[in-house]
Amino acid sequence: MMAGTTHWTHLLLFTAWMFFYLAYQAHKINSRNYGRARL
């Protein structure tokens, strides 16, 4: 194993986690706005 492999793996996992987290937050905000618009 190369020494830098774990660093890149953690970086990729962190980037993927941030992407999904931000997408989830945007989804919650959009759902809240759609719910308010329906009412």
Asked whether residue 38 is assigned to any structural domain, the reply reads yes
pLDDT of 38:
62
Per-residue pLDDT, 15: 97
CB atoms within 10 A of CB 15: 10
Question: In this structure, what token pair is assigned to residue 8?
Answer: 């890149």
Cα–Cα distance, 26 to 19 (Å, whole number):
11
Beta strand residue intervals within 1-39, DSSP E: none
For residue 2, tell me if it sits in a domain. no
* pTM greater than the 0.75 cutoff: no
Output the pLDDT for position 2: 61
Q: How many domains does the chain have?
A: 1
Residue 1 lies in a domain: no
| Interatomic CA distance for residues 30 and 14, integer angstroms | 24
1-39 pLDDT, tens digit per residue, is: 566 788 889 999 999 999 999 999 999 888 887 767 665
Residue-number span of the structural domain to which 29 is assigned: 9-39
36 is a domain residue: yes
